[in-house]
Amino acid sequence: MKVFVSGVAGFLGSHLAERLLAMGHEVVGCDTLLGGELWHVPPDAQFHQLDCRDHHAMRRITEGCELVFHCAATAYEGLSVFSPALVMDNIVSGSVSLFSAAIANGVRRIVFCSSMARYGANEVPFREGCTPRPQDPYGIAKLCAEDALRNLCAVHGVEWAIAVPHNIIGPRQKFDDPYRNVASIMANLMLQGRPPIIYGDGEQKRCFSHVEDCLACLLEMGFGDAALGEVVNIGPDEEFVTINHLARVMAKLTNFTGEPIHVPDRPQEVKLATCSADKARRLLGYRTRMGLEEGLATITDHIRKVGPRRFRYHLDIEIRNARTPRTWLERMF
């Protein structure tokens, strides 16, 4: 079938497009290239350098598509506290614009990639049935987009499913962005012989999902019926590790022997964040195929291949005050 993938030049979107093409589907996609790379786009995908917020453009390029995977996002959870207009406009306006265009064109199903940020300050592991309590504008925006999707699909008779990936890692993840992707930031720094920078005491805990483990779930949500009308966490719930542990594993993989630099906590960062994969196991047949160290090695191998890069401070910080992390103000990365 003809499938639309937003964020097709990005990390998750490009991997998903490759898999769809290998399955024999026709793929159309868009990306602003704000967080993506043109060379990530599979050659056989029909690519449009367009913004999801451009409703008329989305109406034009989603024509004839039966299935939409909405992967595009300004995925800046920490930065969203200091650039809320940028993040919320892209996520809320962009999502609603694409949903509206696709529905107007008679799309059959929309799969939306939300975020673990929706859960916020809940007890871990986060389960789909708990009441969302997002702690930052990014999580608030994702939850708003979810609600809009449910509402529009109910009114217009469109199938929907909401995937909740968390801390996806793997090759092609943007590693020169100082505002997101902790594992890739660490790898880029250490491969340059520079120490990793850790916010707070480093005892905040996360699970990391390799992109390959997420793809199987997304495809099942797109083509199967078990997760219709459901929110499903996708990714592992094993290896719930501290950021300090992450730094030690990355140091081993990069042969880095220095010590991390610790800076003050970022405002609104959730200390403990991991999702239960029980529902994904039950509905999607999920199982973790790649462990943490093996997954992190795919990042270091990729950066070695393309070469470490200087960090690009490419986004405007809207709110600058005493709470703004000095890592960004002083360009410490």
State the alpha helices, DSSP H only, in the chain.
11-22, 55-61, 84-88, 94-104, 137-156, 182-191, 211-223, 243-254, 278-284, 292-306, 326-329
pLDDT (mean) for 34-60: 97
pLDDT per residue as tens digits for the range 216-250: 999 999 999 999 999 999 999 999 999 999 999 99
Fold annotation for 171-206+237-274+289-329: UDP-galactose 4-epimerase; domain 1 (3.90.25)
- Measured in whole angstroms, the distance separating CA 197 from the mean position of its chain's CA atoms is 21
* Residue range(s) occupied by CATH 3.40.50.720 in the chain: 2-168+209-234
- Averaged pLDDT of the chain: 97
- CA angle in degrees (0–180, nearest 5) for 90-186-280: 60
Count of Cβ atoms closer than 10 Å to residue 73 Cβ = 26
* Residue range(s) occupied by CATH 3.90.25.10 in the chain: 171-206+237-274+289-329
pLDDT per residue as tens digits for the range 295-304: 999 999 999 9
Residue 117 DSSP one-character state: G
pLDDT of residue 32: 98
CB 31, CB 43: distance < 8 Å: no
Cα dihedral 275/136/152/59 (nearest 10): -110
Given pLDDT bands bounded at 50, 70 and 90, which one contains residue 15? very high
pLDDT per residue as tens digits for the range 169-201: 999 999 999 999 999 999 999 999 999 999 999
pLDDT of residue 326: 96
What's the number of CA atoms in the CB half-sphere (13 Å) around residue 213? Answer: 29
| pTM of this structure | 0.97
Given pLDDT bands bounded at 50, 70 and 90, which one contains residue 7? very high
pLDDT (mean) for 124-142: 98
Given pLDDT bands bounded at 50, 70 and 90, which one contains residue 148? very high
pLDDT (mean) for 99-105: 98
Given pLDDT bands bounded at 50, 70 and 90, which one contains residue 41? very high
Distances (CA, A) of 184 to 176, 199, 311: 8, 15, 11
Count of Cβ atoms closer than 10 Å to residue 48 Cβ = 16
pLDDT of residue 315: 96
Q: For the domain covering 2-168+209-234, report its CATH number.
A: 3.40.50.720
pLDDT of residue 290: 95
pLDDT of residue 206: 97
